[in-house]
Structure 1
Amino acid sequence: MSQVSPSSAAPDDDAIRRAKAEIESIVRQISELSRQDVSPDVYYEEFLNKVVSALQAPGGAIWTVSETGQMQLGYQINLRQTGLAENPIAQEQHGRLLHRVLSAPVGPGFKEGLVAPPRSGFSAEGEVIDSASAEHLPANATDFLLVLAPVHNDQGAQGIVEVFQRPGARPAVQQGYLNFLLQVCQLAGDYLRGRRLAHLADKQGLWDQLESFTRLAHDRLDVKQSAFTIANEGRRLIGADRVTVAVGHGGRLKIQAISGQDVFDTRSNVSTLLTKVARAAAKTREDVWYTGDTSKLAPQVEKAIDAYVDESQTKAMAILPLVDRRGVDPEATEEDLRKGGRREGEVIGALIVEQMVDNRIADGFTQRVDVVRTHSETALGNALEHEGLFLMPVWKALGKSTWMFRRHTLPKTVLVTGLIVGAIAAALLVQKDFLIEGDGKLRPQDVANVFTEIEGTVDELHVTDDSLVEKGEVLVELKNIDLGKDLERTRGELNAANREYLEIDRQLTSQRSENLTPEERSQKQARRATLYEQLIASKAELALLEKKQQLLSVLSPMTGQVITSRVEERLENRPVNRGQVLMEIADPKGNWIVEVEMPDKRLGHITKAINDSPDKSVDVDFLLATTTDKTFTGKLTEKNIAASAEVRGDEGNTVLLTVEFDQSEFREAILDPKVGAEVKARVHCGRASIAYAYLHDLVDFIRMKVLFRL
């Protein structure tokens, strides 16, 4: 704005008429502005600019009243041109002038506002005097005509609007300035009144939220429920994007609740890193406020927050340790400490408040966080103490069960109790068949494994699945390249040694042998003896190799049927080792048996039943998975119980039981039995109470794992 001297010419009549013509437009604009929800800084700026523009004044100022009653500058235009900043005495005079306007009575018969001529003062009676003699009185020590009007709301004067106008205007024009200023100040008062009502409404809503949060947070003495309430209700009260509650003792905090999530994965990267943040902050026992810079934080906290922010993209967060402050006296003496007193509370958790979008802290944010934190400390402290009471689940159950003994429910309680007691008595006294169950398989009684006696590679397979074979029939032919090479080498060595032996023997027995010197004869006889021993060894080795070659043809050990599935897929062109089982041969036309894999922990009941039986056997009922409409019965004797237990499948240690049964009945019902068909078997072990018959595994477990150790 250009510099304007107060000594400039007074505004002419045309300017005044133009100003009056713009009054209604300016008033409408200010009225609309006063109804908008804008901050005071924005409102004061637009308001004063419109007022100064309407009055064509060089400048102006808005003065507000602080909570302590002090005057403070809200907004100004060209205030420095008044010269008040360089003159302390003028400032004091101007301040008294403002207070005069602010404290002036309001109502009928009282004049609001003030027009102060340049270099003038006001006596105690309100008369205009020379400003030079008004050093301790309200005065206008500037060269401007000051037009001042108060701003009122329902609580009284809240500020003053001051306009710096050029001097020289007629009294009627000056009164027009004041009337306009009083009119727009009423609109400013409407703005302050509306803002106060909105603030009261927000405050009432906040109090309602706080009351709801307080009631819900202290409603239950359950740690998990309290944590969920604090996280969800606290988020609404604070206005944050997410609130997390961690609970624990001694710094070993665990995430108990995250706002907006009924269930969360504690092993996820975000939960794991957030747990580390809570634990690091809890160890320092200090509040941590992060808004993007971690350089001033403790090293362990800085490291944890950096890792978490990289994963979660959080913009701002507060990690506040929750401390159990009950019974804490910061000024406790050593004597108080010996009696159980405490100077500082134990960290029982952490409240984590996060902003995902903006890292700016809103007005009242920290105050609401502190409120939530205070109530969280009390609620979680009470819940942890309550859950830590000895046998608390038992006391809770007993407390909830008192309704059963009230007047209206007592007959039902007696009836239900009688039924339960009767059922327990029946379960302990009534006898039933004691059956031990086990899983098994069906197989022919005569089964033989076909295995190799030499290493080799399957060269030719003469059987397929379910092939019928005779005893001694060739099933598989193997090839062994090394064995063939050894045969050729041994035969060659044998032939060479035999030819040399015959040649030396002919030389020693022919008529020409007389021509040999004694030394030559002795050498040839020694060589012949050596060759003879070599021939014997080579023949023995050749016989052994030929026997091994015969073993390359794997023969059937019995007449029967191949019961191994996918024989070609398992053996064709495959290398095999010595002793490896190639397939199984069984006689499906002969007798069949059931092999039951019985857990060794149940074998005692079976052995006892066999010993107590007159014929030293027990009945076994079994059902085939391939034929579920027929139950068969067999016999089990002690000789059909395997001598040792082995680990088989998921059952662990099991003992193999061989069950024999009536073959004629079996053949009539099962025309084509399948080898390896699944069997469910029940061994009859006499009679026992209903409870023991169904719960014998539990009884045995208690005897072994509990009573035995006592």
Structure 2
Amino acid sequence: MTPTQSSASGSSSSGGQNDPKNRYGRQIEEAFEAASRLAGSALSPADFYQQFLNRTLAAIDAPAGAVWLRTPQGFLQIACQVNLESVGLENRRGGRQCHNEVLRQVFQAAPPRPLMLEPNGRLAPNQAAPAAAAGDPSIPAANLTDYFALFAPIVTPDKAALGVLEVFQDPALDPKLYPTFLNYTFQMAGYASQYHQFSNARSATGIERTFTQVEGFARLVHGTLNPTEVAYHVANEGRKLIECDRLCVGVRHARTKVTVEAVSGADVVEKASTHVRRLRKLMESVVAWGETLTFKGVKDAGLPPDVSYSLDEYLNESQPKLLVVLPIRDEREKDQSKPARSVLVLESFNPPEDAAPMTQRLELVAKHAAPALYNAAELKRVPLKFLWWPIAKVQEGLGGKARFYTVAGVAAAMVLIACMIVVPYPLRMEAKGHMQPVEIAKVYAPREGQIRRVLVRPGDKILPGDAVAELHDAQLEGEYRSLLSKVNEAQAKRDTAARMLGNPRLSLEERLRVSAEESLAQLSVDSSRKNMGSLDSAFNATQARPGWFVAKTDDFDRRLKRPVGASKWTVLNDDRRENLVGRTIRPSEEILRVGNLEGAWQVELKIPQRNIGQVMRAFADPKIQKDAGGRPYLDVDVLLASMPDDRFRGRLYQDDVAAEAVPVKDEHDENEPVVTAYVKLNLDDMPAEFRIPEQQFVTGLEVRTRVRCGDHALGYSMFHGVWEWFYEKVIFWF
């Protein structure tokens, strides 16, 4: 048991249950147990020190504290703190500088030892260690606060300083407790030292595990001689070892041309894509340069022009914060004038501050990948080795190499042409579109007016007939005011006539005249109120607020099916309040758009005019598929932008294809007429594997589709665009 624990236990046996020493003794023992558990945990340093500091302060009811740790440059930096701003370091002139001087001396003291300063107390000359005394003599080491300041060093097993634990204690306690608090702080700092010791041990275990992974990686990449397989093993397994975001592998099969063989995380390398083409250009320029290219957010001005240009082009496509292009050369590549056979590209989008370990792991991966890629590339250079013997026999029987090549070319051409004519293949017409609910409604103002308030936000659920915006129209207000004036005037006439009819001395002739005036006044009141009611119903207005009216949502289409309880519209627009409030809206201008997200969904397609003919011919095919109701339809392959690796299925009915083509700007900013069509999704009789997950139903999501227009000859399905161009430009011309 530690001295502090012994003294705390003694006080516990001699004092009462409410004695501060007894209470603090129990709390200190509990804090030691909690700190011991934290020291052996696998928490990150930030989480450990936050929990550790909270537990340290709670045990002795300290109001504030902090943990300071050494940076790689050797300075102290705060790791975590609790209420440090409340102790008043800034209240007195020079308070922060004096406090920092105390921290420096405690941190540099040799041997390490705890330190306590009374409120507004200074460090005595005999308390400063010789190794720590060489500071600025104009800044004294002092505690210029109203609290006791307790300092304890955090050290390594060989007594090297790691940091300082600092605790501020209330000065109103029994003075005999403060030495106990100091000893307690020193021992808690020891538990922090143990945490670093255990963390280093875990790091050593991680290094052993890394060597095991490297050994497995080496066996894997040398297990095949297929260049693509080797490259994918290097990319995927090497990325795990390096702990980067992306690792790409390129192999030089020709003299200067590099092939992007593998990209980590991608099953297929789309060599025609812009990203892969720019990556290949970057690889080729760096391989030709022969040096390692390292980009950490700022481009080196001394790069060769080709490397600099290809780097700029690639950074326009991908924006990594760390990019390393490393040409790797096998020991058997003796000719240094030739470029390296292989190249690795490391990309990290959120690299650590110190990227040196990642670069070292890349070099380790390159050391094992270089011979494996070299072996696979050399084997690939051997042409058709498994066909040598039978090809040689056939070539000999035909009478020479030239005749063999001629016969083989003619046979291959005939087989290819036969396949193009005989083999059936589905003809697919491409079209782009956007996903949307089947049931969408636009909200308009019932009349022209100025929007004063928008009542809904994006994503709000509202009922049919709910108000979405409040508007005001001065003309409507004038109409209300005029009608109210007529009502008041008519009511006044009616009341005057009623009072006159109550006069018994009124003659019969005058009584008839007054009675007629009363009837006319009542008719005027009723007519004006009826007109006001018409305004209320026509413009969603109210007599209580003349000139004010609201825009409401429409009712649901009762012909469409919807799940039980799905009876609300969802606001689809973004937050448009800043653009709408204060703006005068005409009845033809859309205010908001709402949709029934719980109902059916569809894809709004824009079919180019060059493809609509094939679609309509497919509907005329008597072998076309039909649903349970006998309606013919075409299957549509659907590819979502949010799930590019999965293919889903939809249906296109003929009555969902518009009969009019409208011009739309294409990707080249040219007007190309398109035909709008709607593809139904997730119908009841569709198999489950063809249905789109409901969480992917997002209004406006970009969708790429291919409409299946029946089986045609393989050649026509693949090259129908070429045939149509040839027919239009050549045959039709004659």
Length-normalised TM-score, structure 1: 0.39
Q: Which has the larger radius of gyration?
A: 1
Length-normalised TM-score, structure 2: 0.37
